[in-house]
Structure 1
Amino acid sequence: MRPSLTRQLKQIDDDIFTVSNIFDGAECLELVARAESIGFEAASVRTPSGPKMMTHIRNNDRVVFNDVQLADEMWKRIRSFLPVLDGQNACGVDSQLRIYRYYPGQRFNRHKDGAVSNELGQTSKLSYLIYLNDDCDGGSTTFCHYCDVSGTREKIEFIVMPATGTALLFRHERWHEGTPIAAGVKYVLRSDVFYATG
């Protein structure tokens, strides 16, 4: 049994936050090795008519796998930090997991994430990422929106840099991008948090 790490919540905006030390360094390395052994493929983009290859939007690679045990562990480690949203409580993590890999020059341009539902009728509201390494240059997750301030349109930006084992959670509706890697390789574990009434 690994020693438990102290986890710290950092609120970035109303519906964007990070929690440190969800996984330790050894666990992150194990997940990277597992993904590499499965084998990465070019990542598609979800569209209303189904998945499509759209390299002008994203050109990174990914592994998709189902792991109930890992999703349960991700849930146990994050649940105490999760907010009530729209009068609903968080109730689990999607077991359909993805690990993304970004080489230099690869990125995922500005986009919003879509909600997913499970067989229990629960629908996701939060994207749940865990950075598996931070020995790369670039590769931030950047949130950007515009608002009118005293009649002037202003850009508001929040930048989250990879930190090994740190989770980043945010509402699906938030515009964000995975900025290009300049050097090294970036690995990210991705899932969603389900919500339900009661």
Structure 2
Amino acid sequence: MGERGGEAKKVKWPSIKPKKNLQITHLKETHLFTIPNFLSTVESRAFIKVAESIGFAHQGSLGPTRGEAYRDNHRFAVEDPVLAATIWESGLKKVFADIEIRGKVAVGLNPNIRFYRYNVGQRFGRHIDESVDLVDGSQTYYTLLIYLSGGSNGESGESLVGGETVFYGSRRGVVAEVAPVEGMALLHIHGDKWFYESVNGDRTSQVLLYLDEMELEVKQVA
């Protein structure tokens, strides 16, 4: 996304329990996949409560005619290495233990963390996420998106309708369409392999914990 967050405030984030048996659903090999129940219902809703206490600001754009993707949503960003490390160690580290991209392996998450809220009718148009060189010498290769609200996950309550994340290939054909499910994680590789967008929600608002980039570094060779 190319945005940077501010310095982390002293926020008391919800606890995240370690997840031992996370299951991966591959949508496009290791380039695009989901992890159901990455956060529990209790954890997801606790993050929403904290996010709402901090407050969201509206985010727009100049639009495609000015070279920017269409954007209409609400967001805030924090720089929080402790929260990033907690999420990584809760189960994501194990998921990436056997994944290599161009000879590199994942070592953690970029501490720049964004929360997004999409109200009814809001969306983020087609765009790509590019790799970023970080100050510690590592480079980002993946986007991690966690749905804090979404469709039915077996719990009672009003479900979100719409709000899918849609991926398009180089010829603009649909590669995958991911419906938001509370607590599910979505990961996709950076670069121009595809464009993606968050489409309109039809009923109720959607809140995303959006960790824009995942850090990777060169694997040590014996």
Q: What is the TM-score when the length of structure 1 is the normalising length?
A: 0.85
Residue number in structure 1 paired with 2:201? 181
CA contact (8 A) 1:44 1:54 kept: no
Q: Are 2:185 and 1:161 equivalent residues in the alignment?
A: no
Give the superposition deviation at 1:145.
Answer: 1.5
Residue number in structure 1 paired with 2:3? none
CA contact (8 A) 2:60 2:70 kept: no
Residue number in structure 2 paired with 1:136? 160
Match of 2:214 among 182, 188, 193: 193
Match of 2:133 among 113, 117, 127: 117
Residue number in structure 1 paired with 2:25? 10
Query: Percent identity at matched positions?
Result: 28
Match of 2:110 among 85, 91, 94: 94
Unmatched tracts of structure 2, length 5 or more: 1-15, 151-158
Q: For each residue in 1:51-74, what CA deviation from the matched residue of structure 2 results, as whole angstroms up to 9, or x when unmatched?
A: xx9997110010111222221122
Residue number in structure 2 paired with 1:65? 78
Structure with greater strand share of residues: 1
Which AA in structure 2 matches 1:190? Y
Which AA in structure 2 matches 1:144? Y
Aligned partner of residue 49 in structure 2, secondary structure:
helix
Q: Which runs of 4+ in 1 moved over 3 A?
A: 1-6, 53-56
Q: Are 2:177 and 1:145 equivalent residues in the alignment?
A: no
Give the superposition deviation at 1:114.
Answer: 2.3
Number of residue pairs matched by the alignment: 186
Give the superposition deviation at 1:44.
Answer: 5.2
CA contact (8 A) 1:22 1:167 kept: yes
After superposition, the Cα gap between the structure-2 partners of 1:102 and 1:70, relative to the gap in structure 1 and judged at 3 Å, is same
Q: For each residue in 1:102-155, what CA deviation from the matched residue of structure 2 results, as whole angstroms up to 9, or x when unmatched?
A: 0011000010012223221101000000000112110011001145xxxxxx82
Give the Cα–Cα distance (whole angstroms) in 1 for the partners of residues 139 and 69 of structure 2.
29
Aligned partner of residue 130 in structure 2, secondary structure:
coil
Give the Cα–Cα distance (whole angstroms) in 1 for the partners of residues 134 and 43 of structure 2.
27
Bigger CA drift: 130-139 or 114-123?
A: 114-123
Q: For each residue in 1:147-188, what CA deviation from the matched residue of structure 2 results, as whole angstroms up to 9, or x when unmatched?
A: 5xxxxxx82431111111111000122311001111101111
CA contact (8 A) 1:5 1:24 kept: no
After superposition, the Cα gap between the structure-2 partners of 1:169 and 1:119, relative to the gap in structure 1 and judged at 3 Å, is same
Give the Cα–Cα distance (whole angstroms) in 1 for the partners of residues 196 and 114 of structure 2.
18
Give the Cα–Cα distance (whole angstroms) in 2 for the partners of residues 80 and 107 of structure 1.
32
After superposition, the Cα gap between the structure-2 partners of 1:45 and 1:126, relative to the gap in structure 1 and judged at 3 Å, is farther
After superposition, the Cα gap between the structure-2 partners of 1:56 and 1:2, relative to the gap in structure 1 and judged at 3 Å, is closer
Give the Cα–Cα distance (whole angstroms) in 1 for the partners of residues 87 and 113 of structure 2.
11
